[in-house]
Amino acid sequence: MNYEKFKKQLVREIRTHAAEDVEIAICEIPKNNGVICEAVTLRRRGNRMAPAFYFEEYYDLCCEGETPEVIAAGILEQFEREIPADVFSTEFFMNWENVKRRIYPKLINYEMNRVQLEGMPHMKWMDLAVVFFCWLKEDVLENSTITIRNEHVGIWGVSCGQLSGAAMENAQRDLPPYFGGLGELTGIVREEQEAGRPLPMYVLTNRKEQFGAACLLYPGMLERMSGRIRSDYYILPSSIHECIIVPVSGQFSSSELKDIVAEINKKFVHPQEVLADTVYEYSQKERRLIMR
């Protein structure tokens, strides 16, 4: 079944089996890095908020053999089970006291998202941008988030600084960092290892492995990694979800590593999850990060 036929059949099945008070719509949603994703949204009548279910994700299931009927049933079950009414009510989301413990930071590419950033509270960090999202449900992360926009902070009456403070406090409490060894990253790195150029690598992410690149922002994180490695190191931004840490050893120059990052981003990373082609170097002596 081709993609267009799948979309039509999936929506038809959802419309057939959804409750009478559920409104269904098809829309295009702008995502990170200018990617536009097609989705079907479900909303209870009278409620302004509508969770989105992305066609691309479910089409992959169809290609693996799942039928549109079964996929539609799963979407409706998820909608009924995982979207609590209090969380998706306008009154809940528009109250700062309700949402302030659910705000978290995310790192994205500044230039690739320059237009979108005009409508979002953000802070520039190196050549990246720190933006914020509201995580609506504790046991589901990526599919239950709302990106914070200027109109939200206007309604809440908070500054970008207050937003950032709450986000960092929540992130360190709920999304503690994971920093450990990385056996292998991609075929590119394996080829280098087989050619006699072993590359010791570490990964930095959070315990949920979602939006983990933001762990770079945690107070003292850069210094702690340096103490663990006991050397200067490079940061390879492999995606918005994690970074690869490579000790500076002379085996690879920063320009070689930039080529590796660019090739990984092009071949292996989903366009909306690309963070940057830049390589960053942390200097122990200067206690600062440098873009290479």
Task: Summarize pLDDT for 252-292 with one digit per residue, the tens.
Answer: 888 889 998 999 899 889 999 999 999 999 999 999 999 98
CB-CB neighbours of 81 under 10 Å: 8
Q: Are residues 69 and 133 in the same domain?
A: no
Report residue 199's pLDDT band, with 50, 70 and 90 as the boundaries: low
Report residue 89's pLDDT band, with 50, 70 and 90 as the boundaries: low
Q: Are residues 60 and 154 in the same domain?
A: no
pLDDT tens digit string along 246-259?
999 877 888 889 99
Q: Once rounded to an integer, what is the mean pLDDT over residues 47-69? A: 89
Alpha carbon distance 248, 233 (integer Å)? 5
Q: For residue 143, what pLDDT is reported? A: 55
The closest of 231, 118, 227 to 179, measured between CA atoms, is 227
Q: Are residues 270 and 188 in the same domain?
A: yes
Q: For residue 203, what pLDDT is reported? A: 92
Number of domains in the chain: 3
Q: Which residues pair with 53 in a beta bridge?
A: 40
What type of residue is 248?
A: V
For the residues of 149-216, what is the DSSP string, one character each?
Answer: -HHHHHHHT--HHHHHHHHHHHHHHHS-EEEEE-S---HHHHHHHHTT-----EEEEETT-SSGGGGG
Inter-CA distances, 253 with 93, 125, 237, 260, 274, Å: 48, 23, 16, 11, 22
pTM > 0.85: yes or no: no
Q: Where is the domain boundary, 115, 145, 174?
A: 174
Q: Are residues 97 and 167 in the same domain?
A: yes
Alpha carbon distance 183, 95 (integer Å)? 45
Boundaries of domain holding 12? 3-82
Q: Are residues 101 and 199 in the same domain?
A: no
Q: Where is the domain boundary, 64, 82, 100?
A: 82
Q: Once rounded to an integer, what is the mean pLDDT over residues 161-175? A: 96
Q: Are residues 239 and 283 in the same domain?
A: yes
Q: Are residues 16 and 62 in the same domain?
A: yes
Phi-psi region of 36 (alpha: psi -120 to 50; beta: other; left: phi over 0): beta
